[in-house]
Amino acid sequence: MPLADRHLGPHRFDIAGLHGLERRIGGRLVLCDPDDHPRLRVLVERLSKAVAPKPGILIEDKGCSVAIHWRLAPQEEDFALDLARAGIRALTGHYHLQHGKAVAEILPVTAGKGKVIERFLQQAPYEGRRPIFAGDDRTDENGFKTVNAHDGLSIRIGEGRTIARLRLATPAALRHCLSEWASEGSPPFNRMMKR
């Protein structure tokens, strides 16, 4: 069961997590099995040992991906990035590196927010619809690219370079806009401008 179901229950919405590695579309649930990634499992152990003498660097084992966080040790950014690049080289081609805010994540090449948005848009009831996607991290940019290609509404929350068509300062601003759009009956697809 996806973690989000525990927070949204008893409802069972279509949903995606782990950059699309886990998803439910049209009631069909696909979960990621860590046992399908034996080389990644070995790498997670190696990464954990490598960062043990580096306080503040955290290894987040997500089962089918692994993230190296250095937010608590910004002086260790180069070390963490070198470690992530070495991990990608060790996995030889079946994984890619994705950068976020003080994090580098090693993911299967099949993962990506843009890829899972495409997957949704190819199936009922989403086929032929215009997507809306909001995010606040560098990891959301490939989702924005896909949404823009489908003439949808991409929304960047907060600062930072982006290709999103709309920028909002805070999550509270997003909630306000969603409420307005629900009241009006439609998002502002035709008047999308960065603010």
Total-model pTM: 0.81
Q: Is residue 23 part of a domain?
A: no
Domain, as residue range, for 45? 35-108
**Whole-number pLDDT of residue 73:** 96
Distance CA 127, CA 97 (A): 30
DSSP string, 84-130: HHHHHHHHTTSEEEEEETTEEEEEETT--HHHHHHHHHTSTTTTTPP
Residues 50 and 75 in one domain: yes
Distance CA 60, CA 32 (A): 16
Per-residue pLDDT tens over the stretch 55-113: 999 999 999 999 999 999 999 999 999 999 999 999 988 999 999 889 999 999 999 99
Residues 71 and 118 in one domain: no
Residues 41 and 102 in one domain: yes
Q: How far apart are the first and last CA of the chain?
A: 38
Q: Cβ neighbours of residue 178 under 8 Å, at least 6 residues apart?
A: none
